[in-house]
Amino acid sequence: MTEKKLAAKRLLLFLVLAFGIAWIPALILNRVFGYHAWFETNRMPLFALPVLYAPALANVLTRKLTHEGWEHSLLRLRLKGNLKYYLTSLLLVSVLSLPSGALAVLISGGDWGTNGLTGTELASALLSTFATAPLLGFLTFGEEFGWRGYMNQKLECLLGTTGTVLAGGILWGLWHAVLTVQGHNFGTEYPGFPYVGIGAMCLLCIANGSILMWLTKKTNSIYPAAIYHAMFNNGGVLPGQLLSGKVQALTIPQQLLCQIPLYVAGLVCLLRMVHAKRQNATK
């Protein structure tokens, strides 16, 4: 079996497992308890964790079932020489949130401000975010060990770097669909529900996926990606939210416009990866 055929076989098995392990229990839980009760309130973590860890479990099971081994598991920290990338993973979400917050004000006609927080309260909120969000990387590890620690490697063998960013982002976005159709991220009261929300999630995953893939490639470790992912999910956008003060509710197209800084960062990361690959090919 050729390398590409083997990669395709392993990728297909991984995707079946990653989607199946997440979707089957999520569909049952949505039906039995309701999305809000089991997922949004965080009152049922034992039910939520297997869903969040589905990509990681799929990685482990695929390697076991196909006798692949752990040579490219990316599980080492690799701190030496990579501290700047760890720092980037910690700060980038917040940096990008500032121009995004400014766009939110301009688009919605809202007010600049800090939501009424004093200087001390503002500093406390920011320090709390930077201190706690990276620790929540144990939650995003479940996805990163699967998507960046396995899926991307197989996709790049088949589709190249650009194809991996695009296809990987779409697959990652579709994986969220079982929650998106319940109102995750975008709610349910918008035109084109739930398809517009699923499409918007895919766009966000393409942009974030490019950044996460770049961090992983630069460090040969999944932990910077897990930290960035945790910051994105758990308060890393706080500086931008504080900058924008009170804004009117944004439509999904408006929300996507506010994410232009994220798309630019994703494009820059993609171009850097493509350039690095071309340089390596000419050596």
Chain mean pLDDT for the chain = 91
pTM of the model: 0.94
250-268 pLDDT per residue, tens: 899 999 999 999 999 999 9
The separation between the first and the last C-alpha atoms of the chain, rounded to the nearest angstrom, is 28
Peptide bond preceding 50: is omega within 30 degrees of 0, i.e. cis?
no
Cα–Cα distance between 48 and 35 in angstroms, integer?
11
Domain ranges of the chain: 78-282
Would you mind telling me the total number of residues written for the chain in this entry?
283
Residue 7 CB contacts under 8 Å (≥ 6 apart), including other chains: 154, 157, 158
11 pLDDT tier (thresholds 50, 70, 90): very high
115 pLDDT tier (thresholds 50, 70, 90): low
Q: Which two tokens stand for residue 257?
A: 């416009």
Cα–Cα distance between 110 and 119 in angstroms, integer?
21
pLDDT at 119 over 80: no
Range in 35-39, 55-59, 91-95, 240-244 with the lowest mean pLDDT:
240-244
